[in-house]
């Protein structure tokens, strides 16, 4: 009977140790996943910001010449009607 009790206790200890090992592995995996997700998010935000910055400058490069042409046309039309 004592041998059976000792075997059961040994199995319970092994099961607890296995459970703790699995639990710590899962927690470690979740932490790694969270860190990786956080890093990917930061990188994605950086890429989006760079994209908006490039888009902003490209829009300015297109809009400024158009505005200059409109001003020149208005000035020319204004001089014609004087």
Residue-wise pLDDT for 32-82, tens only, equals 999 999 999 999 999 999 999 999 999 999 999 999 999 999 999 998 887
Buried b (16+ CB within 10 A) or exposed e, 5-14: eeeeeeeeee
Predicted local distance difference test score (pLDDT) of residue 47: 94
Predicted local distance difference test score (pLDDT) of residue 15: 80
Q: Which of 53, 55, 35, 54 is nearest to 43 (CA)?
A: 35
Question: Quick one: pLDDT band at residue 5, thresholds 50, 70, 90?
Answer: confident
Whether the full predicted model's pTM is greater than 0.75, yes or no, is no
> Token pair for residue 20?
């703790």
Residue-wise pLDDT for 11-29, tens only, equals 777 787 888 888 899 999 9
């Amino acid at each position: 009977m004592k041998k059976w009790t000792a075997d059961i206790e040994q199995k319970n200890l092994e099961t607890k140790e296995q459970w703790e090992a699995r639990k710590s592995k899962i927690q470690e995996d979740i932490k790694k996943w969270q860190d990786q997700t956080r890093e990917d998010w930061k990188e994605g935000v950086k890429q989006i910001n760079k994209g908006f910055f490039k888009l902003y400058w490209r829009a300015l490069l297109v809009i400024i010449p158009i505005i200059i042409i409109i001003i020149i046309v208005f000035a020319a039309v204004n001089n014609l009607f004087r």
